[in-house]
Structure 1
């Protein structure tokens, strides 16, 4: 019985890096699914930019590969931050292949209603 071989380019980019963005009362929270990533860069300047790279496993000439589906290459995601984001207080951590970036919010003062008296 012969099994079909599937191969994908080893230099393909991470085009499908998935990111969730939720807003709580206190912060904007981004969660990115980055399994196997050792180095991730985060830049913040009114735009949150998350980028990184996963290198391909070195091909061993002594083994026969039947299927290669794990992606390798670079990825980058950008998100325009809301006006209430405190860009100087960004916090990030990686746990179990999930990157969490938390950006606290500052209170935005809503314009109050002003009553104007009309004199006769």
Structure 2
């Protein structure tokens, strides 16, 4: 007797994803380990007068965020700690990353590193990277 099964490409992709996740966990360590490095999601937006860098850092107090600029390299680092659980509480699944993170970005020549401003609100760290006046478009009159 021949048994028919329905082909489900999503099942195949899901199985492959689990295998890849398992391989990475074995090679790099479990992502839920407190010593694991992680990277917050980041958006970069360009405006006529500035760039704006936005990083998702929910649960990280601003005191645990460090921002520095050296040789046109902007470095943002921080630490997210796991909340202390009670003795009778058992973690069943952990998906939120904890531990240290570090992101570095090379600033373009058009950014004034002395005028960078940072603001953290609702779990989003926003850095305003103002452009230099020399980089602003100049209008040329036709003679």
Shift of 1:62: 1.9
Normalised by the size of structure 2, how large is the TM-score? 0.65
Map of 1:1-120 to 2, 5 A cutoff?
9-38=32-61, 39-45=64-70, 46-108=72-134
Higher strand share: 1
- Structure 2's unaligned 5+ residue stretches are 1-29, 138-143
- Structure 1's unaligned 5+ residue stretches are 1-6, 111-120
CA distance in 1, matches of 2:85, 2:100: 19
Q: CA RMSD in A?
A: 2.0
Normalised by the size of structure 1, how large is the TM-score? 0.76
Greater RCO structure (CA 8 Å; 6+ sep): 1
Higher helix share: 2
Could you list the per-position Cα deviations for residues 11-69 of structure 1 after superposition, in whole angstroms to 9, with x for gaps in the alignment?
25342411111221101110001111112111012111110001122242122332222
Which 4+ runs in 1 deviate beyond 6 A? Answer: none
Shift of 1:9: 3.2
